[in-house]
Amino acid sequence: MLTNFKTWLNDRTGYQKMLGLYSNRVLPNGPSWAATTASCMLWMFVVVLLTGLVLLSSFSPSASSAWASVFYIEQQPAGSFLRGLHYFGAQALIILFGLHTMRVLLSAAFRSPRELVWITGLLLIPLLMVWAVTGNPLPATQKGYAQIDVEANILGSSPVIGPFARQILIGGDSVGNLTLTHLSFLHMALLPLIVISLTIFHIWQMFRHAPTDKELPPEMVEGAARYWPDQSIRNWSVFAVVFGIVAWLAYTVGAPLELPADPELHHIARPEWYFLFLFELRRYFPPELEIIATMVIPTVAMIFLLLLPFIDRVCSQRASAILRFVIVAAFAASWTWLTFTSLNRDWNDAELQASRLEEEKLRERVHALADAGIPPEGASFLLASDPKIQGPILFERHCASCHSHVDENGEGIAAKEQKAPNLYGFASRDWVKTVLDPEGWTAEHMFGNTELAESDMSYGVVDGLPDVAEDLPKLIAALSAEAELPYQVDQDTADADIIAEGLEFLQSEDNCAMCHKVYDAGENGIGPELTLYGSRSWLRDFISNPAHDRFYANDNNYMTAFAPDRNHPERNTLDEKSIDLLVDWLRQDWYEPETPAVTTDEKP
């Protein structure tokens, strides 16, 4: 039945003749391990194509959604593994390409009649490089954006057509939506078409010039063997090992997904490891001659290699062997030296390493936030709207000239000149306790360096209040509860009774309400309003305008009003969003992923 079908199919298609090209090949010198590079490359190419095709089904090439869609792929069953196969497979392909080219050079397999096999193979080198370059920025990471920006500028610096080519590649002046659609077009449509066509031509020519058993019956020549299966088993064994390494890397390490692109982020761009040699080479030329490293040397080397079959013809056997050996040795040595010099320099660059470490922290945070859902604005919005990330940046820029933000271990942001209180844990019970204590109030890190060091609070006005000794803990709990701090919510709920009593104390006009407005009790004018003290709305209003009647009123000569004019936001120092971020950060009100139960057996 099957045999009948095969016969019928062969009658119609002639496929056995096609297969025969493969299986009837003979190897005049017998099977070899070195010759496995070709088949290894072909199959790795198929793996990269297949995984790329599958990834394409869930990828969205748009500035606001590319990162999110790649993150989504990572969350899907086997998504991370497939992306890892694509990522490491492509790098394995680059290594195999280098090895294959060197082997062909050493064995002089480019000689007549295989000149075109050699030339088409060589043309695949720049294509493969462009393929990698167009793939890396696709997830719209900050790293990818920085890389394509630099690479496009290198392209732009080439003579005559450079600026135009750059403009077309990027799709405008800066990297964005059009860059991603252009890169997708190149990476997923144009390059695959060209590379597949060249590869088919390359293999077809190679089969055409390969000896078959019609010319060379293997039993007649000593040491000869059939390609199938003597060479095939070697090919498949080596490919199994290479694929195994790639799959293992994909499974254990996986493809990275760095920080989403955000113009606010500072990223020190470096090319991928396989381009480091060109990056390093560039250093040895003065800026005006940089083009020699980035363009001239690679182009000249390429042209020389393309012409090699013809140069080789005029050389003697001995000269050819020396030439070929020198090319391979020179390339291998210079590539290795340049790459490792560059790696070594980066490794010893403290600024670069610190920046990478900082990015790694941010990356972990962004991944945690993305786990909870990426909004329609895209992944960079996660960074921009996260109080935990933006809070310290805003604080350092706008508040740290006078305020510090230092926790009990002494870690945090120090004031440039401590002129105002340490705002760590603002409105928490500890904070309120310190403020109500005259010694705490006048401490250096609290109001000691402000004009408020002379206020009634510093003279122990609280200690003079009736029944204060007994009621102070209640007062502290009640005032702190006004802030509704998320990290204190359990305590506040548990102490609801104490807080209710404390609130009565606060509202009594013999006590706090003598000088502060507390809900309906008391009046504004002396001390700041204590209704909802330290809450979101209180803090937001305070930072916007501490000179408001509710706070320091006209006495305010302590603190900048950051957004006093609500009707004209453009006149304010800070916009509402930044103030909200600062407020949420001060209140430690940010998203934290629910951590799975941590094993506690690590205790010392």
Classified as helix, coil or strand, 167 is helix
Give the nearer residue to another protein in terms of CB position, either 234 or 536: 234
- Helix runs in 372-467, H state only: 379-384, 387-398, 429-436, 438-441
> Shortest CA distance to 397 belongs to which of 526, 579, 151?
579
Interatomic CA distance for residues 283 and 277, integer angstroms: 10
Q: Is 49 in the site for another protein (CB under 8 A)?
A: no
H/E run at residue 85: helix 79-106
Q: Which of 240, 253, 268, 326 binds another protein (CB under 8 A)?
A: 240
> Environment class of residue 10 by beta-carbon count within 10 Å: exposed (0-12), middle (13-18) or buried (19+)?
middle
Q: Which of 21, 42, 50, 302 binds another protein (CB under 8 A)?
A: 50
Q: Which of 18, 193, 233, 268 binds another protein (CB under 8 A)?
A: 233
Q: Which of residues 469-528 bind another protein (CB under 8 A)?
A: none
Per rule CB under 8 A, count of chain residues that contact another protein = 35
Q: Which of 159, 223, 287, 373 binds another protein (CB under 8 A)?
A: 373
As measured in angstroms, the least distance from the Cβ of 56 to another protein is 12
Give the nearer residue to another protein in terms of CB position, either 376 or 604: 376
Q: Which of 68, 195, 308, 539 binds another protein (CB under 8 A)?
A: 68
Interatomic CA distance for residues 44 and 49, integer angstroms: 9
Q: Is 81 in the site for another protein (CB under 8 A)?
A: yes
> Shortest CA distance to 385 belongs to which of 166, 89, 584?
584
As measured in angstroms, the least distance from the Cβ of 427 to another protein is 24
Interatomic CA distance for residues 373 and 385, integer angstroms: 13
Which range binds another protein by CB under 8 A, 222-230, 326-334, 409-417, 482-490?
222-230
Residues 6+ positions from 507 with CB-CB distance below 8 Å = 513, 518, 519, 520, 521, 522
Q: Is 245 in the site for another protein (CB under 8 A)?
A: no
Asked if 481 contacts 492 with a C-beta cutoff of 8 angstroms, the reply is yes
Q: Is 183 in the site for another protein (CB under 8 A)?
A: no
Interatomic CA distance for residues 526 and 554, integer angstroms: 10
Q: Is 425 in the site for another protein (CB under 8 A)?
A: no
As measured in angstroms, the least distance from the Cβ of 36 to another protein is 12
Interatomic CA distance for residues 137 and 132, integer angstroms: 9
Q: Is 381 in the site for another protein (CB under 8 A)?
A: no
Give the nearer residue to another protein in terms of CB position, either 49 or 453: 49
Q: Is 61 in the site for another protein (CB under 8 A)?
A: no
Which range binds another protein by CB under 8 A, 228-236, 414-422, 424-432, 446-454?
228-236
Q: Is 223 in the site for another protein (CB under 8 A)?
A: no
As measured in angstroms, the least distance from the Cβ of 248 to another protein is 10
Both ends of the chain: CA-CA distance in Å?
A: 72
Q: Which of 25, 26, 41, 69 binds another protein (CB under 8 A)?
A: 69
Residues 6+ positions from 60 with CB-CB distance below 8 Å = 66, 68, 69
As measured in angstroms, the least distance from the Cβ of 495 to another protein is 22
**Torsions phi, psi of 270, nearest 5?**
-135, 145
Interatomic CA distance for residues 37 and 34, integer angstroms: 7
Residues that bind another protein (CB under 8 A): 43, 47, 50-51, 54, 57-58, 60, 65, 68-69, 71-72, 76-79, 81-82, 85, 228-230, 232-233, 236-237, 239-240, 243, 247, 373-376
